[in-house]
Amino acid sequence: MLGVSRTSRREAAPQASLGLPELTYDGTDLARGIKGAVKQFHRNKDIVVAGRHYSTLFVNLDGWLFRYKILHDGDRQIVDFILPGQIFGLQACLFQASLYSIETVTDTSVASIPVDAIDPLFDKNPGLAKALFRSAVRETAIVGEHLIDTARRSACARVGHLLLELFVRLRVAGQTDGLSFAIPLTQEIIGDAVGLTTVHVNRTLRALREDKLIQFGDKRITILDFEALSELSDFDDTYLGETAGALRRESVSQYPFGTHGNATSSEAPPRHDIGT
Amino acid sequence: MLGVSRTSRREAAPQASLGLPELTYDGTDLARGIKGAVKQFHRNKDIVVAGRHYSTLFVNLDGWLFRYKILHDGDRQIVDFILPGQIFGLQACLFQASLYSIETVTDTSVASIPVDAIDPLFDKNPGLAKALFRSAVRETAIVGEHLIDTARRSACARVGHLLLELFVRLRVAGQTDGLSFAIPLTQEIIGDAVGLTTVHVNRTLRALREDKLIQFGDKRITILDFEALSELSDFDDTYLGETAGALRRESVSQYPFGTHGNATSSEAPPRHDIGT
DNA sequence: CGCCTAATTGAACCCGGTCAACCTTAGTGG
DNA sequence: CCACTAAGGTTGACCGGGTTCAATTAGGCG
């Protein structure tokens, strides 16, 4: 039922890092370093509740979560998904009242890091500031892409685009198997994310399958024709990949801004030294 | 023709700051302090071009701009608007290739600040890091709200919501006159922002007018019934106002994270000391 | 076995898109 | 001073993708 159970949890190669580019890496290391309390959450539980203020960051160690908002008419809009390895909860720390709630899709273990514990780290490793900063900007990019998704694309393109985004993000996190990956989402969740009804998500998935673009069943999706699906969905992974690439290349400037003379090359310690 | 000509430009009370909350304030002061080159741009000119990399931040001193992306089918999606006083171009600095283009709506004067000039400032005023950080998170919130706009709301609600957002943001910037404000946007631009065709934007505006919710003409909009329009549009200014409010209350922590013991009260210098 | 959640499929309806025509206004050049 | 042009705004008729409502099936789990 979990869907992600295929991938190891704590056993995942420790130095390889679980998850997403920048933050992730820092995140897990950060969590390891601080030994922040790790808590288990069941599926369908709210971890962050809209309207409340928080003073801890969270690291998603293994599960799937999503950030969402309930509208006045009761509709639920999912803004983005939080995949294994990602940090979350920044916004809830910075704002007086969190704008969104965050809920688990699967059973999930979450490390929480009191922000108090972070400030001191900035002294030793200002690169962390940059990583967090970049993560915030990256998040805007993802949300922006979702905006374009719902505003401009057809149902097929929306669903296809979401699947491709998840695939690429999971691949970076090492959670794919060829062109196939476990997806613990219900059609209702997908609909709430791309702005379609459950009924139409269903029809759309069928259409994609009948066109031999994807294949699915048992909480697992296989992309049969990456090219064609990308074409159909107007998918361009720049907004995901470039970010990862960019960080890899220049991750060491003192401050969030890169080009400070020679900052683009590498001389500072690698960023997984935080906890050691 | 400009539409914003009503409001003074350079003459605006200098210490009151032009624009938007956080960044804005820092932005203008920052621009003043560094005396970054101020350049004039005509309307409908691209200032940032998608795909290029930049190493300067920009401050919008007086005009209207928007961030947008051209899709593969030629459609244009506007992601958000950049109002007088706002900083922009962060993303283009942090990413190898900017995801979006930024174009002027009106004639605009723009101050550019080389990022090289900013790093040193961080030493003296780490609060600036927080301001920029917060701005990035805030931007995500605005884009997220636009996402909800296009995904979940009816045409009326979308247009109404956009108008209300612009109104609130302009009010903070001191660019409103009662419930009325100058709006230099064409119906095509509005459509590209909320995901509707020009034709339907027109019909929607007419409907809103016939319902006595708004009134418009000559590049100017008056909100006749703020409550009713908010209700109809599912508008809640938390995502804008709370941000501003939050900053006002706690703007001084050493690092992007607020609650560091006593950081919520004020002891550090006010944030407009950057340039002086 | 029976309950509940999720997936599936059908039929009628409607919001917003598309296409096309016309109007209004500002700018331009003779 | 007027004729011409172009951009933006306005309106109508028709169409279609996606919603809505509703019924049925399939798959855990007590």
pLDDT tens-digit readout, A142-186: 999 999 989 999 999 999 999 999 999 999 889 999 999 999 999
The secondary structure element, H or E, covering residue B26 is helix B22-34
Torsion angle of C-alpha atoms A20, A21, A25, A26, degrees rounded to 10: -120
B109-147 residues labelled b (16+ CB within 10 A) or e (exposed)? bbbbbebebbbebbeebbbbbbbbbbbbbbbbbbbbbbb
CA separation for the pair A51, A95 (Å, rounded):
9
- Residue with smallest Cα–C1' gap to D7: B186
Query: How confident is the model over A221-232, as pLDDT tens digits?
Result: 999 999 999 999
Provide the terminal-to-terminal Cα distance of chain A, rounded to the nearest Å. Answer: 37
A111-127 residues labelled b (16+ CB within 10 A) or e (exposed)? bbbebebbbebbeebbb
A29 band by pLDDT with thresholds 50, 70 and 90: low
**What's the pLDDT score for residue A98?**
94
**What's the pLDDT score for residue B95?**
86
Q: Determine the average pLDDT of the residues in A6-28.
A: 37
A6-10, A42-46, A128-132: the lowest-pLDDT one: A6-10
The answer to whether strand C lies under 7 Å from the CB of residue A91 is no
- Taking the CA of residue A98 and the C1' sugar atom of nucleotide D11, their distance in angstroms comes to 44
The answer to whether strand C lies under 7 Å from the CB of residue B258 is no
**Concatenated DSSP letters of A155-173:** HHHHHHHHHHHHHHHHHHT
**What's the pLDDT score for residue B266?**
33
**What's the pLDDT score for residue B237?**
87
Residue in A118, A147, A234 nearest the CB of B72: A234
Give me chain A's average pLDDT, please. 77
* Separation in Å, CA of B2 to nearest CA in chain A: 28
Contact A137 B91 (CB under 8 A): yes
Is the full-model pTM beyond 0.85? no
Query: How confident is the model over A52-95, as pLDDT tens digits?
Result: 999 999 999 999 999 999 998 889 999 999 999 888 998 898 88
In 3D, which of B131, B109, B108 has the Cα closest to residue B118?
A: B131
**What's the pLDDT score for residue B12?**
33
**What's the pLDDT score for residue A241?**
58
* Separation in Å, CA of A138 to nearest CA in chain B: 8
Which segments in chain B show pLDDT lower than 50? 1-26, 242-276
A212 band by pLDDT with thresholds 50, 70 and 90: very high
**What's the pLDDT score for residue A246?**
39
The secondary structure element, H or E, covering residue B193 is helix B187-194
Residue in A72, A150, A261 nearest the CB of B151: A150
Query: How confident is the model over B158-178, as pLDDT tens digits?
Result: 999 999 999 999 998 899 999
A34 band by pLDDT with thresholds 50, 70 and 90: low
